[in-house]
């Protein structure tokens, strides 16, 4: 038995903010953002919450998979911007959709969160612990951005993606993941400071910090390596792959991956132009877009790859 992705869903906030819109509130330009990243617009939450977006994506994924919430025995949500420290986002979703037979927990692995969730669900399925899992990547990153730091806030967006993974004969052929905690501070956001009767701190809010060039170098080195490794494990060649669904952070990173794998950009669907980087939600949202456009057919070979805070990375090779 292996895990097969049998349904996808996604949800985006209604507000679409262009690069030109941002240039009216900070010292930036469409030319700077699009030439360095490929990003043109991003959806930003106004009334929407991380939970609300996650629930909408989850319901659509269940409908696409043709199963009920009661059939789920596992829910994993990956997010760095859940609405509550507790209860977890996954428990909130469980309550909202009525998945009464599922165990729900959250997983934090930055932008690799969806790949780490998929690896965890795969281990549960292969060991017989569960048969039907709901995986969610959901972020409202705009709440942890410093809107006075133009080098980070223009890159990110908000949204949620979900996938149902069921035990089946065919599906995931190989999945790998890794982390390098020694480089973690290259992309960080502090939690609340200690504040108790014995250690008084002025409760200052912390926002996302990124060393863009360090993260860029990490991504262009690590992503092709982990894709090559997962393909080798799955006994596949890059030429066999129909689509590479790669974390959407920067078009130049994706172009570098395509070049290293000697594969045409047509095999790399893109939504960062519209959505920017949505961390753990990026891969499942793109997967849902490609699925709903009818671009993938049963038997197609797909590679998923993520990278990000931690630093972390992961890749999966699967049959659709």
111 is known as an active-site residue: yes
Closer CB to ligand COA, residue 52 or residue 310?
310
276 in Cβ contact with 42 (< 8 Å): yes
247 catalytically annotated: yes
Structure tokens at 2: 């292996």
297 is catalytic: no
Min CB(44)–ligand COA separation in Å:
16
- Interface residues with ligand COA (CB under 6 A) are 28, 32-33, 36-37, 111, 150-151, 154, 187, 210, 212-213, 215-216, 219, 249-250, 253, 277, 308
Which is catalytic among the residues 19, 250, 271, 277?
277
Task: Tell me how far, at minimum, the Cβ of 209 lies from ligand COA, in Å.
Answer: 11
Distance CA(137)–CA(114), nearest Å, equals: 6
Q: Which of these is catalytic: 91, 247, 271, 291?
A: 247
Query: Which one of 111, 153, 166, 275 is the catalytic residue?
Result: 111
For residue 200, with 0-12 CB atoms within 10 Å meaning exposed, 13-18 middle and 19 or more buried, which class applies? Answer: exposed
Q: Tell me how far, at minimum, the Cβ of 23 lies from ligand COA, in Å.
A: 8
CA dihedral 312, 88, 74, 320 (to 10 degrees): -40
Instruction: Quote the CA–CA distance of 127 and 290 in Å, as a whole number.
Output: 30
**Cβ-closest residue to ligand COA?**
212
CB nearer ligand COA, residue 164 or residue 272: 272
Give the residue among 15, 108, 96, 84 at the shortest CA–CA distance from 58.
96
Residue 197 carries which DSSP code? T
For helices 251-261 and 212-233, the axis angle rounded to 10 degrees is 40
Q: Least distance to ligand COA from the beta carbon of 249, Å?
A: 3
- Considering the complex, what minimum distance in angstroms separates the CB of residue 133 from ligand COA? 24
Cβ proximity to ligand COA: between 7 and 161 the closer is 161
Nearer to ligand COA, 32 or 105 (CB): 32
Q: How many helices (H) and strands (E) does the chain have?
A: 10, 13
Question: For residues 200 and 194, what is the distance between their CA atoms, to the nearest angstrom?
Answer: 7
Active-site residues, by number, are 111, 247, 277
């Amino acid at each position: 038995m292996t895990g097969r992705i049998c349904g996808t869903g996604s949800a985006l906030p209604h507000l679409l903010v262009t690069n030109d819109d941002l240039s009216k509130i900070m010292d930036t330009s469409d030319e700077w953002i699009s030439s360095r990243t490929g990003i043109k617009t991003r959806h930003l939450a106004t009334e929407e919450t991380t939970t609300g977006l996650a629930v909408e994506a989850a319901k659509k994924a269940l409908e696409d998979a043709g199963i009920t919430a009661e059939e789920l025995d596992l829910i994993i949500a990956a997010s760095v911007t859940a609405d509550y420290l507790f209860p977890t986002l996954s428990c909130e979703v469980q309550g909202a959709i009525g998945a009464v037979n599922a165990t729900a927990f959250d997983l934090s692995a930055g932008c690799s969160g969806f790949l780490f969730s998929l690896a965890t669900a795969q281990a549960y399925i292969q060991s017989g612990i569960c048969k039907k899992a709901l995986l969610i990547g959901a972020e409202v990153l705009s709440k942890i951005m410093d809107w006075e730091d133009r080098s980070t806030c223009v890159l990110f967006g908000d949204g949620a993606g979900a996938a149902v993974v069921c035990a089946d004969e065919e599906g995931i052929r190989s999945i790998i993941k890794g982390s390098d905690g020694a480089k973690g501070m290259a992309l960080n956001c502090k939690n609340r400071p200690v504040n108790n009767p014995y250690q008084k701190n002025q409760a200052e809010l912390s926002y996302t910090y990124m060393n863009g060039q360090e993260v860029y170098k990490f991504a262009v080195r690590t992503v092709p390596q982990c894709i090559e490794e997962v393909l080798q494990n799955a006994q596949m060649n890059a030429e066999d792959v129909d689509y590479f669904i790669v974390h959407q952070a920067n078009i130049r990173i994706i172009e570098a991956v395509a070049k290293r794998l000697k594969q045409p950009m047509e095999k790399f669907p893109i939504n960062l132009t519209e959505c920017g980087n949505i961390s753990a939600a990026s891969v499942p949202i793109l997967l849902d877009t490609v699925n709903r456009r009818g671009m993938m057919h049963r038997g197609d070979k797909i590679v998923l790859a993520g990278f990000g805070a931690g630093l972390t990375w992961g890749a999966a090779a699967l049959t659709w």
